[in-house]
Structure formats: C-alpha cells, structure tokens
Chain A
C-alpha cells in the first residue's frame, strides 16, 4: 500500500508487533553469538590442565597471546604442555548466566551483614525516584503552566531556570550531603535538581503550544482569565503534559545512579557496585537489565493509560472504553431513558 512512500508510513499491526519483538531479539542474538560461538572474539583461554605450570590453576583465564607464548616456551623446553579452551573475559557474561542471575539474585542471601537483598535495593531506588519526581512535579508543573500561560511569569522565571539547568545535578552532590545528611534525602534532592529545571521549561513550552484559536473561542464565549487557564489551557495541553512527564521520568532514572553514590551509597547502584566488587558480573548485568525492565514497563503502562485517559486524541474504539461502556450501559439507560441511541461512527 505504502510501497511508494517508504518513510513515515504506518505499518500494519502484525508487522509492527513482529518488528517490536525483533528489536529485542536481534541484540540478544548478537549477544548469544559472541557468547556461544567459540571462534567469535573469545580473547581468553580458560585453563583445563595446568600441566605443572606453577602459576596456572584450573579455570584460570589467561589472555590468548600469553597462553600461546607459554605453550611455545614449554614446547621448546620439551615440558608438558598446558591445555585450555577459548573463553570470554569475566565481565562478559553469556545470556544464560544473566538469566540465571536474574532469578538467583533475588534468592541469594547478601554476603555481608550490611549488604542488601536485591529487592530491598530496588525498593530503595524506586522510593528515591518516586519522591524526587513527585516533589519536582508538585512545584515544577504548576510553575511551568504559569510560565506557559503568562508572559510575565515566563520572563520572571525562565531566564534563571535556563541558567541553573546548565549546572549538572551531580555537581550539587557534596552540597546536598552537607545540607541533608548522608541518607536518602540528598539523593532525592539531586533527582529534584536534575528534573525540576528541565520540567519547568518543558511544561511551559507545551502549554505555550496550545492553539491560540481555542483561547480566542473561549474568550468570545465569556471565559475569564482563570477559566482560560483552568478550562482551556490545562485540558488542551494535558495529553502532551502527560507525555512530557513520561519523558522526564526517564531522565529521573538517569540521575538515579549518580544520586545513589552520594553520601552512603544506596539502592540498586550500591548492589551493582558490591556485586562488581565480588566479580559477580552476572548479577551486575541482571541488576542493570532490571532497571531497564522497570523503566520500560512503567513507560509502557503509562503510555497505555495515557491513550485511554485522553481518548479524545485518538477516537478509535478502545477495549478499555468499551469495557466501561458495557459496565455502565444498563445504568445509563435507567438514568436517561429518553437519550437517543448513539449511532456507531461512519462519519
């Protein structure tokens, strides 16, 4: 259908789903190839037989060149030749090890007494993000709306916000520790700093983009300033604001890792650093992937919810709405017995 226009065209739904799955399977395939095909990369030798070499141990990883040189030397000296097979470095874990770690990381007892279970670390991280993002939004969204609505508010606020925006949030780390102590508070503060200033500008821009025609129409219908903001600007920009917040939530996650090393290291970052210290790289991968899964799922759920909350933006019938339609169908007939039956589309 859209063969003549290979760009910007909508894909048929089946193909969309297929490509979406492939988007995840392809990287997994590449990862698997490098993990399981012995002649791809595998720059180390995993020793299986030390053959009397004093510094070799079974399962020790030796760079291939060093091992080859050793074999040459032993052969020249007519000594027993050590054996080994090609392997990847310890920091490169195969998919099955990471998959196993995704499960065992939750079931393995922490090594030290101060260490946390993975789920505890995750809960701390989510708590940090939640409070950081909530506090930022509670101030940033209303301020952004004001800036978008009124030019004077915009001029009074935005130049300074724009200025602070360029200061990297982690730069405030030491200061935040001095102010808020070493626990969760400075971390939340850094996420607030990282999110808030962007948020004000993004929200203000979104509100400014509202079609001036809608405001004029409302004004000719007798809407006063307060109504113009609350009944026109706000609902008109709400779907876009919602999407802005989704994107900003993603940014908050990127600040999380820097924030969590401030003061007493905490949350998922602490878990990752500890596991890297123990050289449990499968757990490190598992934790990083978990962050991705949490972020991605949150975003997908919020996106799905948004499409249903703002149904007027896409009038295609949704199962969600159809469900609620059925749920209240009987009630509606009772309440409004004379309401004409809704004709179904076809306009």
Chain B
C-alpha cells in the first residue's frame, strides 16, 4: 500500500492495520475456516455506446465460512455488477466464481440475494413470500410453513405473516426480504445496498438486526454499500474497489472488536479505519471541486456564514 499518509494530521489515531491481540486471534481463526466463495480473476466488459467498457478487471478474492465481507467503492466501480455476477444474474466476461469449490452458473438458491429495491412479491402475503423459496425446492405443507414462520420470527415479523408487502414500511419489507432470502438455507447471502433506501434511523436498526441475524444463522454475508460507517460497523473485512476499471484497491481487516455497537464509532480503531476508507474512496487530490460560478444575489453585509 503506497499512501499511508496518516502521520502528520492524524498523529493521535493508531494505524488502521494495528489489531488488538483478541482481534488478531479472531482473524487467525477466521482464516482457518474453509473458503465458501472464491472469485478467480473475475472480469466484466460491457459494450457501451462508445466501444467496450471494462466494468471490472481481475477481481480475485476468497470469502471464508460465516465471514461478513463488505464491498465499497466510488460510484461506477462495478459493485453491483460484481454482486450480480456472484448471484448468477450476470455472466462474467472472464474468470469464474466458485462456491464450495464448484463453479457457479446462473442464479440458484445456494446464493440468496437481498436487493436494493423492494422485490417482495406484492401478490403474496409476507408468509407466502418467505415460503416461495422453500416451495421452489419442492417443499410444501405444514413443515415448510412452520419453517417460514420461524424465519419471520427471526426477523421479528411473525405478527405480520398475513399482511401484504404494501402494508409494511420500508424497513419491514427489507426484513421480510432477508427472511425470504435465508429461508432456502443459502451458503452465501448477497446484499446489494439493502438499506440504501431507508431513513437514517431505520437503517441503524436494520444494521443491528442484521448483525444479530448473522450471529444466529450459519450464513456467509457479502454486503455492498456506499456508506463507509455501515461497512466498518458490519464487516470483518472490507473489499475496497476503485473505478474505471473496477479493480481491488485494498482489502481491509476491520480492527474494531466484536460484538459491534454504535458506541464503537468513537473508538480509535473505528476512526482510523474510517480515515483510511476516506483516503481510498475520496482521494485528496480530487477533493477540491471547482467552485460554482455563482453571482452574489444578496445585499452586501447580509451574510449567513
């Protein structure tokens, strides 16, 4: 890593790579776990209006069992393309995706996905939405329904089993979407900015919820976000992408100890990681945007700042 420019201004903050013994031990254990998802030299080219565009180039990365990985990057870095290829909704132009060592092609119930927009089936009740994935596996009857109800209980929406999606708030809909994606017991849960459309308060609640679900369910999570704080709060490791073409910029092991809470946002580890992410996502050179050519339209002396 070339630019670790944190010596002058941030002298009080520790290095974001410094880990307490407990955190370091946790990462060591994590690395021992089997690899669930492997990305091998993944690339994706689109044919745009002005010739081919390289959205992603040579992405290689391994995700271990029950790891929580966040992917962040500036807009246009191909985050969504990446997760869509993992889900099988998009075909890579080069490289491949391995799930438990087997290459994946096409979407499947072993990789659950929670989308940014609301994609619950509006004609089905909440319970039947969750049941959908189980039915696709040929399951039906009381046992499947009982299982679906359990998933609803896990996301705290058992009471709303018979409601239709458009009777729920945005946060509740995404909780149902999580329950629906988890019901077929996927190996990996792919989440494409799932809380992006929610207000700040709901979003914070959802983050807490998600961590709790992850603690209690045997699932590996790959979570896309553009919210730096969200990434640090949730992730074991953060995959930072850069744009044009989308390449891996850096993989950060988050030094903030678990269990996580919002109180940790003021901790030096959190702040150091946050500073590093800022450097990567918003490089200082590009920062000073050109001032807008605005003519003064107020009277002299009538200043607001």
Question: CB within 8 Å of B: which residues of A?
Answer: 211, 213-214, 216-224, 227, 231-232, 235-236, 238, 310-313, 315, 340, 342-343, 345, 347
- A217 partner, pick from B106, B115, B160, B167, beta carbons under 8 A: B115
Contact A219 B121 (CB under 8 A): no
B180 an interface residue at 8 Å Cβ cutoff?
Answer: yes
Given contacts A213-B119, A220-B111, whether A315 and B181 have CB atoms under 8 Å apart is no
Distance in angstroms from B198 CB to nearest chain A CB is 15
- Measured in the bound complex, the distance between the Cα atoms of B160 and A345 in whole Å is 10
Contact A221 B181 (CB under 8 A): yes
- B108 partner, pick from A213, A222, A315, A343, beta carbons under 8 A: A222
- Measured in the bound complex, the distance between the Cα atoms of B162 and A232 in whole Å is 19
- A222 partner, pick from B123, B137, B172, beta carbons under 8 A: B137
B103 an interface residue at 8 Å Cβ cutoff?
Answer: no
Distance in angstroms from A272 CB to nearest chain B CB is 43
- Measured in the bound complex, the distance between the Cα atoms of B129 and A236 in whole Å is 13
Given contacts A223-B136, A312-B166, A315-B164, whether A216 and B109 have CB atoms under 8 Å apart is no
Contact A345 B107 (CB under 8 A): no
Contact B132 A221 (CB under 8 A): yes
- Measured in the bound complex, the distance between the Cα atoms of B225 and A165 in whole Å is 49
Contact B123 A347 (CB under 8 A): no
- Identity of the chain A residue whose Cβ is nearest the Cβ of B118 in the assembled complex: A213
Contact A217 B159 (CB under 8 A): no
Contact A235 B89 (CB under 8 A): no
B158 an interface residue at 8 Å Cβ cutoff?
Answer: yes
Q: Which residues of B contact A211 (CB under 8 A)?
A: 119
Contact B169 A221 (CB under 8 A): no
- A220 partner, pick from B107, B120, B124, B165, beta carbons under 8 A: B107
Given contacts A312-B166, A315-B164, whether A217 and B119 have CB atoms under 8 Å apart is yes
* Dominant secondary structure at the A interface: helix
- Measured in the bound complex, the distance between the Cα atoms of B180 and A232 in whole Å is 15
- Identity of the chain A residue whose Cβ is nearest the Cβ of B160 in the assembled complex: A343
Q: Which of B117, B121, B190 has the most CB of A within 10 A?
A: B121
Q: Which of A238, A311, A313, A347 has the most CB of B within 10 A?
A: A347
Contact B167 A222 (CB under 8 A): no
Q: Which residues of B contact A313 (CB under 8 A)?
A: 122
In this complex, the interface size class of chain B, counting residues with CB under 8 Å from chain A, is 35 or more
Contact A216 B184 (CB under 8 A): no
Q: Which residues of B contact A219 (CB under 8 A)?
A: 88-89, 106-107
- Measured in the bound complex, the distance between the Cα atoms of B120 and A211 in whole Å is 11
Contact B109 A222 (CB under 8 A): yes
Contact A222 B159 (CB under 8 A): no
Q: Which residues of A contact B137 (CB under 8 A)?
A: 222
Within 8 A of A (CB), among B154-187: 158-160, 162-169, 172, 177, 180-181, 184
Q: What are some 14 contacts across the A-B interface (CB < 8 A)? A: A211-B119, A216-B89, A218-B136, A219-B106, A220-B89, A220-B113, A221-B181, A235-B124, A238-B123, A312-B122, A312-B165, A340-B159, A342-B163, A347-B169
Distance in angstroms from B166 CB to nearest chain A CB is 6
Q: Which residues of B contact A231 (CB under 8 A)?
A: 132
Contact A214 B168 (CB under 8 A): no
B112 an interface residue at 8 Å Cβ cutoff?
Answer: yes
- Identity of the chain A residue whose Cβ is nearest the Cβ of B165 in the assembled complex: A312
B87 an interface residue at 8 Å Cβ cutoff?
Answer: yes
Q: Which residues of B contact A220 (CB under 8 A)?
A: 87-89, 107-109, 111-113, 181, 190
B72-116 vs A, CB cutoff 8 Å, 1 = contact: the mask equals: 000000000000000111000000000000000011110111010
Contact B162 A214 (CB under 8 A): no
Contact B123 A312 (CB under 8 A): yes
- A216 partner, pick from B107, B122, B132, B133, beta carbons under 8 A: B107
- Measured in the bound complex, the distance between the Cα atoms of B167 and A347 in whole Å is 7
Q: Which of A218, A220, A313 has the most CB of B within 10 A?
A: A220
- Measured in the bound complex, the distance between the Cα atoms of B299 and A248 in whole Å is 64
Distance in angstroms from B57 CB to nearest chain A CB is 25
Q: Which residues of B contact A218 (CB under 8 A)?
A: 121, 132, 136
Q: Which residues of A contact B160 (CB under 8 A)?
A: 343
Q: Which residues of B contact A311 (CB under 8 A)?
A: 164
Distance in angstroms from B59 CB to nearest chain A CB is 20
Contact A216 B136 (CB under 8 A): no
Distance in angstroms from A322 CB to nearest chain B CB is 14
19 new A-B pairs (CB below 8 Å) besides A216-B119, A217-B115, A312-B123? Answer: A211-B119, A213-B115, A213-B117, A216-B87, A217-B113, A217-B177, A218-B136, A221-B180, A222-B107, A222-B137, A222-B184, A223-B132, A223-B136, A235-B124, A236-B122, A236-B123, A312-B122, A312-B164, A345-B167
Q: Which residues of A contact B119 (CB under 8 A)?
A: 211, 213-214, 216-217
- A310 partner, pick from B113, B123, B159, B167, beta carbons under 8 A: B123
Q: Which of A216, A222, A342 has the most CB of B within 10 A?
A: A222
Contact B109 A221 (CB under 8 A): yes
- Measured in the bound complex, the distance between the Cα atoms of B124 and A235 in whole Å is 9
- Measured in the bound complex, the distance between the Cα atoms of B115 and A220 in whole Å is 11
- Measured in the bound complex, the distance between the Cα atoms of B117 and A217 in whole Å is 11
- Measured in the bound complex, the distance between the Cα atoms of B137 and A312 in whole Å is 25
- Measured in the bound complex, the distance between the Cα atoms of B166 and A311 in whole Å is 11
- Identity of the chain B residue whose Cβ is nearest the Cβ of A222 in the assembled complex: B109
Q: Which residues of A contact B124 (CB under 8 A)?
A: 235, 312
Distance in angstroms from B280 CB to nearest chain A CB is 30
Q: Which residues of A contact B117 (CB under 8 A)?
A: 213
Q: Which residues of B contact A214 (CB under 8 A)?
A: 119, 121
Within 8 A of A (CB), among B42-74: none
Distance in angstroms from B170 CB to nearest chain A CB is 10
Q: Which of A211, A217, A227, A235 has the most CB of B within 10 A?
A: A217
Distance in angstroms from A332 CB to nearest chain B CB is 10
Q: Which residues of A contact B88 (CB under 8 A)?
A: 219-220
Distance in angstroms from B194 CB to nearest chain A CB is 12
Q: Which residues of A contact B123 (CB under 8 A)?
A: 235-236, 238, 310, 312
Distance in angstroms from B237 CB to nearest chain A CB is 23
